[in-house]
């Protein structure tokens, strides 16, 4: 049975002749009553920016905009090869973002799978639309205890951290500690960024529940808040109880490629953060 994908994801594909795909991987290495880990990876196989077209210089790198999907699929393959005693679910929403006569236009409003309306202010901010439906589908269907999603999402992250660290937004101190430790062991390093509702008005002040971009200021922070709105169980309970699910958003816009190369990594696309994801799941195994 296939999920009913709503307009947030499917709207991104309106300008291309290539159909959208939602790729699922199910690895059942633990007991049937054990909650799974969920990995989600952005899989935009080529990103022109759509109607909000990117500059042509360097656009060929956007073949790597599926780096998040590649990383989580590679981590899943390693988990299976290692035979780890965990349950793992992997989702990779796959599509192109192209201009065309039916493509999204700035000012359009679409509805995500969870019913939230989203104003599209910039069609080059498509990654969060692609991920929104996948995150809601995965969090409500599989009821994971931990969700980690990986995406080459914002140029602002590249400006902030360059090629050295992957930015992390999370609601969980324990998950952050696991990520930080795994990244240090594998030289696949992370830096924790502020996940704070103070940035909320930048994406809440629109003609819809959310706007897909909140301006240049703190752009990676507003993107994290946008994605958080589509993860079921990520907020604390009304009685002050802790959140049901541990969640982390990994923005690899800077670390998806190295332009310098060094002893551990040649120039080019890096596969970050595959190694760290494998370490986290090894540490999770009983």
Q: Which three-class secondary structure state does DSSP give residue 64? A: helix
Give the whole-angstrom CA distance, residue 273 versus residue 261: 16
For residue 84, give every residue at least 6 positions away whose Cβ sits within 8 Å of its Cβ, in sequence order, or none: 29, 281, 282, 285
For residue 253, give every residue at least 6 positions away whose Cβ sits within 8 Å of its Cβ, in sequence order, or none: 152, 153, 154, 155, 156, 157, 158, 220
> Per-residue pLDDT tens for 93-127?
999 999 999 999 999 999 999 999 999 999 999 99
Q: Is the dihedral of CA 21, 132, 211, 250 positive or negative?
A: negative
> Per-residue pLDDT tens for 160-198?
999 999 999 999 999 999 999 999 999 999 999 999 999
For the annotated catalytic residues, the residue numbers are 54, 128
Q: Which three-class secondary structure state does DSSP give residue 56? A: coil
Give the whole-angstrom CA distance, residue 284 versus residue 286: 6
Q: Please provide residue 117's backbone torsions phi and psi, each rounded to the nearest 5 degrees.
A: -90, 145
pTM of the model: 0.94
Percent over 70 (pLDDT), the chain: 96
pLDDT of residue 239: 66
Residue 247, strand partner residues: 147
CB neighbour burial string for 247-285, b if at least 16 within 10 angstroms, e if fewer = bbbbbbbbbbbbeeeeeebeeebbbbbbbbbbbbbeebe
Q: Is 106 buried (19+), middle (13-18) or exposed (0-12) by CB count in 10 A? A: middle
Domains of the chain: 7-106+122-195+217-284 (3.40.630.10)
């Amino acid at each position: 049975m296939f999920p009913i994908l709503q307009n947030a994801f499917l709207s991104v594909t309106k300008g291309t002749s290539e159909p959208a795909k939602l790729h699922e991987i199910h690895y059942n290495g633990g007991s049937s009553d054990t909650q799974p880990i969920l990995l989600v990876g952005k899989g935009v196989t080529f990103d022109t920016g759509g109607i909000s077209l990117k500059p042509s210089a360097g656009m060929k790198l956007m073949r790597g905009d599926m780096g998040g999907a590649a990383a989580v699929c590679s981590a899943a393959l390693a988990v299976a090869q290692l035979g780890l005693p965990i349950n793992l679910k992997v989702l990779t929403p796959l599509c192109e973002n192209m201009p065309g006569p039916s493509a999204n236009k700035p000012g359009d409003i679409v509805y995500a799978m969870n019913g939230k309306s989203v104003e599209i202010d910039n069609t080059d901010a498509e990654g969060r639309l692609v991920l929104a439906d996948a995150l809601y589908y995965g969090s409500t269907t599989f009821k994971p205890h931990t969700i980690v999603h990986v995406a080459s999402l914002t140029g602002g992250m590249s400006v902030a951290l360059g090629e050295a660290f992957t930015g992390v937004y999370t609601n969980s101190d324990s998950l952050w500690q696991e990520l930080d430790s795994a990244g240090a062991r594998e030289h696949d390093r992370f830096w924790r960024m502020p996940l704070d509702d103070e940035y909320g008005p930048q994406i809440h002040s629109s003609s819809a529940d959310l706007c897909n971009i909140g301006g240049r200021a703190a752009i990676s922070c507003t993107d994290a808040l946008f994605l958080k709105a589509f993860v079921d169980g990520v907020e604390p309970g009304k009685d002050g109880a802790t959140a049901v699910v541990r969640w982390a958003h990994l923005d690899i816009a800077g670390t998806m490629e190295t332009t310098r190369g060094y002893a551990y990594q040649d120039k080019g696309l890096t596969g970050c953060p595959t190694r760290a994801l494998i370490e986290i799941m090894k540490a999770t195994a009983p």
